[in-house]
Structure 1
Amino acid sequence: MRKIAVTGGPATGKTTFLAILKELGYPTFSADEVVRRLIAPGGPAHERIRELCPWAVGPEGALDRRLILRRLVEDVAFRSVLEDLLHPLVKDELLAFFEAHSGTEFVFAEIPLLFEAGWEELFDEVWVVACDKETQKARLHQRLSDPELVERLLATQLSLSEKIKRADRTFSSEKAPEVLKRELQELLSRMRRPCSERP
């Protein structure tokens, strides 16, 4: 089994990229989806997050992720406490995902904070999904509608240029999804063939 991490910066197209891989039939894992499930009402981390963030609990008991994000980018100590709580839980689920698909040729895991968490050693390859800075900021402004929050969020993570330097492969999310899909089909077909058969 070849374990491939998919990472990048906020709003660089990781989720769309992972969806293409899933559409192609490969097992996929999303750290963001796991976190959403962990902190949702009834989730394993929900009560602890409620204790840490009483100011982010809505009338139905759901957590306001926007308020938590704002606190994350403003308070390093809070971010560290939250990561110490959530990262081990996400890692356990990631390892269980690997175990469940141990007989599969390729598995893909979207890990936004791969380098920041030091998890690159868990994978055989790291693929970064990138776009230019203006495109990234435009996507984030559309998503968050808060220029200050956008800048603070970008400042909390390793720069995209540094992630690209540390990646095995880089893909542009500014290409049409059908183009990316075709590129991935061709690449994975080549990766499947023995070295002696590759051009």
Structure 2
Amino acid sequence: MTATGNTRVIGIIGPPCSGKSTVARQIESMGGVWLDADKIAKEQLTRSDVIDALVREFGAGVLLDDGTLSREKIADLVFGSSDESKARLKTLESIVHPRTRQEIRTALQAAREHHAEYVILDVPLLLESGWQSDCDEVWCLSVPPDRHHALLAARGWDRDELKRREKRQLPWGEKRRRSDWVIENDGSIEELTKKVRDRLGR
């Protein structure tokens, strides 16, 4: 990893329901800054320039009566297996992703300027999109298969949808190899917390 400075920037990766948010909240409670790309991307959907761009692409039917964006209508347009849905998803990403990336970079710079001790960079496809160059280290969450399947089922995840998402990613074996630390989340939350504190020397 190539990031430098007093702020320790930690990229965090792992499949859904692997414990990423638990680790991020823990470090946030220790005074760290959690940059959640999914949350930042959703915030972009409230920007007037983004709404205008999406209306130009998809029509006024994506708006609610109050002029705000209907996330449900957008989801209906872009999530599907058809070529049309895939093309619309690429269009959505071309509008939202550059703005999200800039917001993350601005927040990361602000954290460094304020001498935050830690930043958790929680970005989907972190390795695939090159964000590891902004990190001092990358942590990868790993969960035993049986436990992971149970967690996915409890959260209502569709296994086929998960497989479709994974096709867009590096294999998890490769992600583990590229990570600086693999966190085996195979115990209680307290045990996971201790592993993180030990890693940080806290």
Q: TM (normalized to structure 2)?
A: 0.76
Residue 21 of structure 1 pairs with residue 27 of structure 2? yes
Name 1:48's counterpart in structure 2: 53
Name 1:148's counterpart in structure 2: 160
Q: Quick one: distance in 2 between partners of 1:55 and 1:136? A: 40
Name 1:8's counterpart in structure 2: 14
1:9–1:157 Cα contact (<8 Å) kept: no
Q: In the TM superposition, what whole-angstrom CA distance separates every residue of 1:126-157 from its partner, at most 9, and x where no partner exists?
A: 11122234444444444445443232223222
Q: In the TM superposition, what whole-angstrom CA distance separates every residue of 1:98-143 from its partner, at most 9, and x where no partner exists?
A: 2212122322111121112122112111111222344444444444
Residue 108 of structure 1 pairs with residue 116 of structure 2? no
Cα pair distance change 1:141/1:128, threshold 3 Å: same
Identity of aligned pairs, percent? Answer: 24
Q: Quick one: distance in 2 between partners of 1:10 and 1:55? A: 33
Q: In the TM superposition, what whole-angstrom CA distance separates every residue of 1:76-108 from its partner, at most 9, and x where no partner exists?
A: 544443333322222212221222121223221
Tell me the amino acid that sits aligned with residue 57 of structure 1.
V
Q: Secondary structure at the match of 1:91?
A: helix
Residue 57 of structure 1 pairs with residue 62 of structure 2? yes
The Cα shift of 1:47 comes to 3.5
Q: Quick one: distance in 2 between partners of 1:156 and 1:120? A: 18
Tell me the amino acid that sits aligned with residue 92 of structure 1.
Q
Alignment of 1:89-168 (within 5 A): 89-102=99-112, 103-144=115-156, 146-168=158-180
1:26–1:108 Cα contact (<8 Å) kept: yes
Q: Structure 1 unaligned runs (5+)? A: 191-199
Q: Secondary structure at the match of 1:152?
A: helix
Residue 70 of structure 1 pairs with residue 75 of structure 2? no
Q: Quick one: distance in 2 between partners of 1:45 and 1:34? A: 13
Aligned-residue CA RMSD in angstroms? Answer: 3.0
The Cα shift of 1:18 comes to 1.0
Q: Secondary structure at the match of 2:108?
A: helix
1:4–1:124 Cα contact (<8 Å) kept: yes
Q: Quick one: distance in 2 between partners of 1:128 and 1:43? A: 36
Cα pair distance change 1:180/1:135, threshold 3 Å: same
The Cα shift of 1:51 comes to 4.4
Q: Quick one: distance in 1 between partners of 2:127 and 2:77? A: 22
Q: Quick one: distance in 2 between partners of 1:54 and 1:141? A: 36
Cα pair distance change 1:152/1:189, threshold 3 Å: same
Tell me the amino acid that sits aligned with residue 50 of structure 2.
A
Cα pair distance change 1:136/1:58, threshold 3 Å: farther
1:144–1:150 Cα contact (<8 Å) kept: no
Greater helix proportion? 1
1:3–1:124 Cα contact (<8 Å) kept: yes
Q: How many residues align?
A: 189
Q: Quick one: distance in 2 between partners of 1:138 and 1:131? A: 11
- Residue of structure 1 aligned with 2:37, choices 18, 31, 39: 31
